A and B are shown apart, each in its own frame.
Chain A
Amino acid sequence: MDFGLSEEQQLLEASLRRFLDAELPPPRVREVMAGERAHDATLWGELARLGVAGLLVPEEHGGSGLSLLDAAIAAESLGRAAAPVPFLGTAVMAPVALAAATPAQRAEWLPRIADGRLCVGVALCESFARYADAGVRREGDRLHGRAMFAVDAGAADAFLVAVGDELAWVERSAAGLEVGLLRGVDETRRSGELRFDATPVAAWVGGRGAADAAASLERALAAGRVALAADLLGAAGRCLERAVAWSLVREQFGRPIGSFQAVKHLCAEMAAEIEPARSLLWYAAHAFDAAPAEAPLLALHAKAHLAEVGSFVARTATEVHGGIGFTAECDLQLWFKRVGASRAMLGSPDALRENAAALHGWAPV
């Protein structure tokens, strides 16, 4: 028995952190996020060469066929860097959703995902939430309506769209598709509103009426939630690191503020929230591949709990920084905002807890 990261996983984490610390310091993050699409194809290409894009793509399609725990390790490192990259949709949700694809579809899409040439936006929001009049309907092989909060819309070359229980593949260049990029508080990732006007579906994942598309959609959502939880963990960890570093150099009353219990205890509370949450996240990611019966509940708990931990840590770290933490110049705000966005993405904590209660049979479905 072993409840921890393997040597390979520790290596993956170390090499990814080394790369991101060197190539993606906060000033670089700010440059990329200032762009309309918040996307830098060169950066994503380099990460793809490190294997990040193809972690979940099977080896036969040019990826490394690893587990969601490996993807979670990458997601944590990317959250730690506030990386403006299309990891969640392209490298996590799309490969999982494409489990339902036909062999020909997989051979067409997965290799290009793995080598970084194809970025996939994922529009599943309609399957679990309703925003005003949003909704997608199908007439034959054409889509009408509106899909909200498509993940990685800024970078996307194509979209996976939930249409009822089916998954449609829509090219970004398709006629009748308007992609409206949404600027939220978190500028490091750009989600989108997709407007369909008799937009042609390039392909139905697994073919029209594929029986397992609904299950794949659920799996993709669960994987996405675990990856977001990992991103939140990385962001929270970075906030704590920065708060500790700041409290060691900032002096008031003639000594570092980190020597005052009022500040020390805030830092300790952050650590006490983060570390057990990391253990929960590891297990939720592990269960996705190894314990399918427990996985759905754990994905919900991981996302909801890490969202709470992330919010607590981001605000507490800001308080430790004092006034400087509230300025635009201070990089801490990048993580504060990323946490805020991750908290709401793919389901807010209270909604996910209610889903978890329903899985237990404690709440109406």
Chain B
Amino acid sequence: MDLAFGPRHQAFRDEVRRFLEEHRAQAPRGALAPGGRTGDEQVLRWQRLLVERGYAARTIPREYGGFGAAPDPLERIVLDEEFARAGVSRGVGGQGPDMLVPTLLEHGSEEQRRRWIPPTLRGEIVWCQGYSEPNAGSDLANVQTRAVLDGDEWRVEGQKIWTTGAHRAHMMFALVRTEPEAEKHAGLSYLLVPMDAAGIEVRPLATMTGRAEFNEVFFRDVRVPRENVVGGRGRGWRVANTTLGHERNFLASSAQLEESLARLVELLQQETAPGERPIDRPLVRDRLLRLEARVLAMRFHSLRLLTCRLRGEPPGVAGLVTKLAGCELSHQMAALAVDALGELGVLYEAGRRGDPRGRSAPWQFQYMFSLGLIIGGGTAQIQKNIIAERGLGLPREPRAVGPAAAPGEGR
């Protein structure tokens, strides 16, 4: 155990602070992830600056447009802390940089890496993920969207659903069926699809939050270049699972949990709407302290998993629990905030009548949206199958007759 910030990291911290003081005026405002804002020159300029200084894409090799530094968790912590303290955007994140890039580094061809990673890191190409279908949710390997090779092109036919950010994405990484004769899992390929191709239709999918964070995407005879398959024909299941591993960590990042906790503490200390400060009520305090312990646990857990990666040690079952624990925690924090506000907590018009400070709406949104995250990216129940089967060695569900997937193999 060595978490000391030596002189080298202190110097790094000083450097980051100086950078932030000097450049913070150039930073775009608001969250840029997931999906990012596109076509915004300020966003792209900021992103280029961050990559150039090594404050984004820090450990991505230089030949793929990254900064090329060796992985160093303490540097990551310094960056997280200093950017959070300054309230400055970390640049574009989301499906491209956080999910596709590590997948291409692992499974992509040299040409694919050189072509797709640099513009993705610069924020010029925004990605969406085309996995789920109406009949391929938990049973993800049941994907029915077909791609048939026709000369130098794939012809894609089918439908995706729950596609975050499809309406502003330039590209989609999709799981499609290319080998209809093969066994279910072996029939899939991982295909990079341009979203401006003819035959693609994107329809927003309104959710209970009142927004449309997701979309349905329809493919009618969409032409995709042959070379856009990642990891080889029929190898899509393995590639997709790499991406899912990254998604699960990204959906429940401990930095987001810590940020939520800080906002929650502030709310409980400052709000007086129900007649007293919520934090002065022992039962509210007790709930808060329970959640704080869990947030701290997730913070140290992420450091532990990072250390496993650096040491090359398999984390075992510890590496499979982040999504299940983290998404639930986010939901529970929002639940406490909503409860603490009393009837004010149900108002859902930010900054309007009754709630001029707009306290309630973001928490109500988080309460609902985090439930979406508990379901998305592999439901809590699928996560438990994965933990039990891969982590604890319990038997698979008996397979249904025919080439059906074991549930643990799904999302």
Q: Which residues of A contact B (CB under 8 A)?
A: 1-6, 69, 240, 244, 247-248, 255-256, 258-259, 261, 263-265, 267-269, 271-273, 275-280, 282-283, 286, 290-291, 298, 301, 304-305, 308, 350, 353-354, 356-357, 362-363
Contact = CB atoms under 8 A, between A and B. Distances in A.
Interface in B259-287: 269, 279, 282, 285-286
A268 B397 contact: no
B224 to A, nearest CB: 38
A275 B290 contact: no
A161 B385 CA distance: 50
A308 B294 CA distance: 11
B394 interface: yes
B292 A301 contact: yes
Interface stretch (B31-39, B94-102, B300-308, B356-364): B300-308
Contacts of A5: 1
Nearest to B277: A362
A259 B394 contact: yes
Contacts of A259: 394-398
B297 A305 contact: yes
Contacts, number: 158
Contact of A298 (B3, B296, B381): B296
Interface of B: 1-4, 72-74, 269, 279, 282, 285-286, 288-290, 292-294, 296-298, 300-301, 303-304, 306-308, 310-311, 313, 317-318, 320-321, 324-325, 381, 383-385, 387-389, 391-398, 407
Given A354-B285, A356-B289, A362-B269, A264 B1 contact: no
Given A259-B396, A267-B394, A268-B384, A357 B289 contact: yes
Nearest to A256: B395
Contacts of A247: 394
Contact of A304 (B279, B293, B318, B407): B293
Contacts of A240: 392
B385 A268 contact: yes
Contact of A280 (B285, B286, B296, B384): B296
A1 B78 CA distance: 12
B3 A286 contact: yes
Label chain A's interface by main secondary structure. helix
Given A259-B398, A301-B296, A354-B282, A2 B2 contact: yes
Nearest to A350: B286
Contacts of A283: 296, 300
B388 A362 contact: no
Contact of B289 (A276, A286, A353): A353
Contacts of A248: 393-395
B325 A276 contact: yes
Contact of B308 (A4, A273, A277): A4
A295 to B, nearest CB: 13
A362 B290 contact: no
A286 B1 contact: yes
A261 B397 contact: yes
A6 B3 CA distance: 13
A272 B387 contact: yes
B3 A3 contact: yes
Given A275-B317, A279-B300, A362-B285, A269 B384 contact: yes
B297 A271 contact: no
Contacts of B393: 244, 248
Given A264-B384, A264-B385, A265-B384, A275 B286 contact: no
Nearest to A2: B2
Contacts of B391: 268, 271
A1 B387 contact: no
Contact of B388 (A255, A256, A268, A301): A268
A269 B389 CA distance: 13
Contact of B392 (A244, A276, A350): A244
A362 B279 contact: yes
Contacts of B387: 267-268, 271-272
Given A275-B301, A276-B294, A354-B285, A2 B1 contact: yes
Contacts of B300: 3, 276, 279-280, 282-283
A2 B392 contact: no
- The residue in B292, B325, B385, B392 that gathers the most chain A C-beta atoms within 10 A of its C-beta is B392
Given A256-B395, A275-B321, A280 B297 contact: yes
Nearest to A298: B296
A6 to B, nearest CB: 7
Contacts of B384: 261, 264-265, 268-269, 272
Contacts of B294: 276, 305
A268 B307 contact: no
A272 B297 CA distance: 11
A241 to B, nearest CB: 9
Contacts of B395: 248, 255-256, 258-259
B3 A1 contact: yes
Given A259-B396, A271-B391, A277 B286 contact: no
B234 to A, nearest CB: 29
